[in-house]
Structure 1
Amino acid sequence: MNSCLRPSLHVLLLLCMLMLCACRSTAHMARELPQPDPLALATVQPEYRLAPGDVLLVKVFQVDDLERQVRIDNDGKLSLPLVGEVAAVGLGVAELEREVAARYRDGYLQDPQVSIYVQEANGRRVTVSGAVEEPGIYPLVGANLTLQQALAQAKGVSTVASRRNVVVFRTVQGQKMVARFDLTDIERGQAPDPEIYGGDIVVVYRSDARLLLRTVLELTPFVMVWRAYR
């Protein structure tokens, strides 16, 4: 059993050394990033213009039967009861509310009060990966998120995270830029919590020491059971 475990441990140690080198290399990264391109920045402002793929919740006051959750199709339209297809792409939420209300007013309702909520904005997404509990692509609805809020959407960092090595990738004017942030300093109020924009990629590096410790702890019960039956 020992001879079988030895190569595996060697591989683990090699991987840990590689990750340690990677974490050290982040020390030379920038500690802040410029704002994204104006077009990308516009997608995360309150005057957000609707795009294909956006999911909207449409409500008509005191007419529950007309409430719908709809997705804007690739042609830029959404389909609603009674009025059929409505062009939505390029409009702001308030503009679409007025358009839908006008459609219902034309032969259906006397004074419709329409409210529309953006539940998922296709242009507002951030990727969170690495040593977090639930890596994935998350929508940004409303105002911009901060780094801590983006990590909270991924259920926080995992037990093997290197909290001092959180890296954000951003494309600015066609150039890919990267910066490293210290989550520990941010949580202590010793560093600002940077804003995260749609299209950003957040990567949490793993701590080599914590990863090795967890691996050893996970392997220990199996080693002890094997020895008990030798």
Structure 2
Amino acid sequence: MKGMSRGLLALLFALALSACASSNRAAHNEKMGRVLPPPDTTTASGAYEGATDYRVGAQDLLEISVFGVEELKHQARVNSNGLINVPLVGSVMAGGRTIPELEQELGSRYAEGYLQNPQVSIFVKEYTSQRVTLEGAVKKPGIYPLTGRTSLLQAIAMAEGLDEFADLEGVVLFREVNGERMAAAFDVAAVRRGDMPDPQIYGDDVIVIERSGSKSAFREFLRVVPALGLFFAL
């Protein structure tokens, strides 16, 4: 499988077997968890915190304009601290805010001494901070921007769906949480039926879809994990 080392596959398999053999399943479940947690969330990360709107993140490119004032139309790249530089206003915190929130903030700043009833419009020209990678048995593997709250099924749809060789029970979501790499397996058929949650996808997530008939160690990991419904630290 592209992007996966043999060592990582062996570790995945070992973790799965360890989970099966555990004599204290309740304690293990409490330790490992039953829902893959969201990644680290910081002001500049652009992470979603339950909102449906896209939240601006570091390195996003914004196009900002003020109705009737052509001189104020410009582009601003969000820096690593979540800040943008705006003419007449100076540095403004953009990271972590939705577009309407940022438009309101800039409108208020301009209205403080520069313009009367300014109408600020912001367009995200480049979604850089929030991207998801899809690998394996999808029709168009690649890296895709997240422009709003996105679920696993929606992310797969961005790659034009699963290909004819996809294993519906062979979907693994990789995520970094508090500096630790984690993985959770999903059965897409069960998700579609509503028997399994359709998890939310975050920036930098990696989704790998295994192919039917695979005999790899990764396949053995998938054979065990969906029945457990657990996520694992790698």
Q: What TM-score does the superposition give when structure 2 sets the normalisation length?
A: 0.60
Q: Where do 5+ consecutive residues of structure 2 fail to align?
A: 1-8, 20-32, 215-234
1:35 and 1:187 map into 2 onto residues whose CA distance is 21
Cα distance, 1:52–1:190 mapped onto 2, change above 3 Å: closer
Equivalence for 1:43: 47
Cα distance, 1:194–1:92 mapped onto 2, change above 3 Å: closer
**Does structure 1 residue 137 correspond to structure 2 residue 143?**
yes
Equivalence for 2:36: 34
1:42 and 1:58 map into 2 onto residues whose CA distance is 18
1:37 is displaced (CA, Å) by: 4.3
Cα distance, 1:192–1:77 mapped onto 2, change above 3 Å: closer
- Taking only the aligned residue pairs, the percentage that are identical comes to 40
- Within a 5 Å distance, the mapping from 1:165-176 to structure 2 comes to 165-176=170-181
Equivalence for 2:115: 109
**Does structure 1 residue 100 correspond to structure 2 residue 106?**
yes
Q: Aligned-pair RMSD on alpha carbons?
A: 4.0
1:151 and 1:111 map into 2 onto residues whose CA distance is 43
2:152 pairs, out of 147, 160, 174, with 147
1:131 is displaced (CA, Å) by: 1.2
1:35 is displaced (CA, Å) by: 1.2
Q: Give the SS at the match of 2:41.
A: helix
1:186 is displaced (CA, Å) by: 1.8
Equivalence for 1:214: none
Q: Is the 8 A contact 2:40 2:177 kept in 1?
A: no
Cα distance, 1:32–1:121 mapped onto 2, change above 3 Å: farther
Q: Name the amino acid aligned to 1:191.
A: M
Alignment size in residue pairs: 185
Equivalence for 1:199: 204
Cα distance, 1:172–1:106 mapped onto 2, change above 3 Å: closer
Which structure is higher in helix share? 1
Q: Where do 5+ consecutive residues of structure 1 fail to align?
A: 1-20, 210-230
Q: Name the amino acid aligned to 1:132.
A: V
Q: Is the 8 A contact 2:39 2:175 kept in 1?
A: no
Q: What TM-score does the superposition give when structure 1 sets the normalisation length?
A: 0.61
1:70 is displaced (CA, Å) by: 4.0
Deviations 1:61-119 (A, max 9, x none): 46677555543245755455x64854334463456434432554466532202243556
Q: Give the SS at the match of 1:185.
A: helix
For the pair shown, which has the larger CA radius of gyration, 1 or 2?
1
Q: Name the amino acid aligned to 1:171.
A: E
Q: Is the 8 A contact 1:130 1:206 kept in 2?
A: yes
